[in-house]
């Protein structure tokens, strides 16, 4: 199944961001720490205007710590780029972000001259959650449907930093179907745009290669399944997800695997490493 996710909204969003970016000092891009490349809109790089850029690696508490460190190193090789792992829901995690904004715009942050920042990100990576945590109250609507943010909101944090919540909606590049399947596995794509069995098999194949020990521990497997099909079968039997005749319900078993993956119950897992970006760009 080819995953298609709300095509057609990107052009307008990019135009609005391109105008707004001229008026800010620092850009904050929110990504999913488990898949920082696939959860980005790569057309943003073309309209950067050499602005200081912070990659917020949200949900880092669900990601493999070693892989997250590798992503931070990879991002910070780029001029003017900084990366900051965090959980956008935790106020304590967001404090270093404010300090970093002030550091990257040393001529601002004074009375009457706040650091002007802009927050960008595709749906479901935590952009609105981050804004609400920084503001200390509900300022941005949280939702997984298109066009939740329809106008630019300017939010004064009263600490020398002003946020702009970008209008329009950015979407990732669905021509990269491997990236699309990673997004689906992470929970970023709605049920109507994906097939649970196919995405479960995709995730199962990756987990068998990259995190076999975590799978064995989570599902009490004496032997590692030889294929993703065998893994789905084992998960279904462990969770009692059987159809008529005692056969495993493949859809429900795949859904169970993905649900536990997304919740971090299998362990701290990253769905891509910096090498994945290099392969995609080649």
Query: Could you report the per-residue pLDDT of 187-199, keeping only the tens digit for each?
Result: 988 888 899 999 9
CA-angle at 11, arms to 167 and 4, nearest 5°: 100
State in words which class domain 195-281 has: mainly alpha
Q: pLDDT grade, residue 6 (50/70/90)?
A: low
Instruction: Provide CATH 1.10.1580.10 ranges for the chain.
Output: 195-281
pLDDT, residue 148, reads 43
Give mean pLDDT, residues 17-24: 90
Q: Mean pLDDT, the chain, as a whole number?
A: 88
Per-residue burial over 219-248, b if 16 or more Cβ lie within 10 Å, else e, is bebeeebeebbebbbbbbeebebeeeeeeb
pLDDT at 107 > cutoff 80 = yes
pLDDT, residue 243, reads 92
pLDDT, residue 281, reads 61
**pLDDT tens digit sequence for 22-63:** 999 999 999 999 999 999 988 888 888 889 999 999 999 999
**pLDDT tens digit sequence for 124-141:** 899 989 999 998 876 555
Task: Quote the percentage of the chain above a pLDDT of 90.
Answer: 65
pTM: 0.89
Q: Which of 33-37, 49-53, 147-151, 176-180 has the lowest mean pLDDT?
A: 147-151
Query: Per DSSP, what are the bridge partners of residue 28?
Result: 54, 119
Instruction: Provide CATH 3.40.50.300 ranges for the chain.
Output: 10-165
CATH of domain 10-165: 3.40.50.300
Q: pLDDT grade, residue 149 (50/70/90)?
A: very low
pLDDT, residue 47, reads 87
pLDDT at 100 > cutoff 50 = yes
């Amino acid at each position: 199944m080819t995953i298609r996710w709300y095509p057609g909204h990107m052009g307008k969003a990019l135009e609005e961001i391109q105008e707004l970016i001229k008026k800010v000092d620092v850009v904050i891009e929110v990504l999913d720490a488990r898949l920082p490349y696939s959860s980005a809109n790569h057309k943003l790089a073309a309209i950067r205007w050499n602005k200081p850029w912070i990659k917020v690696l949200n949900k880092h508490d669900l990601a493999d710590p070693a892989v997250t460190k590798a992503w931070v190193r990879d991002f910070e090789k780029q001029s003017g780029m900084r990366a900051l792992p965090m959980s956008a829901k935790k106020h304590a995690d967001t404090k270093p972000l404010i300090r970093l904004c002030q550091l990257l715009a040393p001529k601002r942050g004074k009375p009457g001259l706040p650091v002007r920042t802009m927050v960008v990100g595709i749906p479901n990576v935590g952009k609105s959650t981050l804004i609400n945590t920084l503001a200390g109250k509900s300022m941005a609507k949280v939702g997984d449907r298109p066009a939740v943010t329809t106008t630019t909101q300017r939010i004064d944090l009263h600490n020398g930093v002003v946020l702009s919540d970008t209008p329009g909606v950015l979407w990732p590049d669905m021509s990269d179907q491997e990236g699309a399947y990673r997004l689906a596995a992470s929970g970023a794509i709605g049920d109507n745009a994906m097939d649970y069995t196919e995405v479960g098999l995709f995730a199962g194949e990756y987990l068998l290669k990259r995190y076999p020990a975590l799978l064995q521990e989570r599902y009490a497997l004496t032997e590692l399944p030889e294929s993703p099909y065998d893994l789905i079968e084992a998960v279904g039997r462990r969770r009692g997800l059987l159809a008529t005749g005692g056969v495993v319900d493949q859809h429900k078993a795949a859904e169970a695997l993905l649900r536990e993956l997304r919740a971090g119950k299998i362990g701290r897992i990253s769905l891509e490493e910096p090498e994945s970006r290099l392969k995609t760009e080649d």
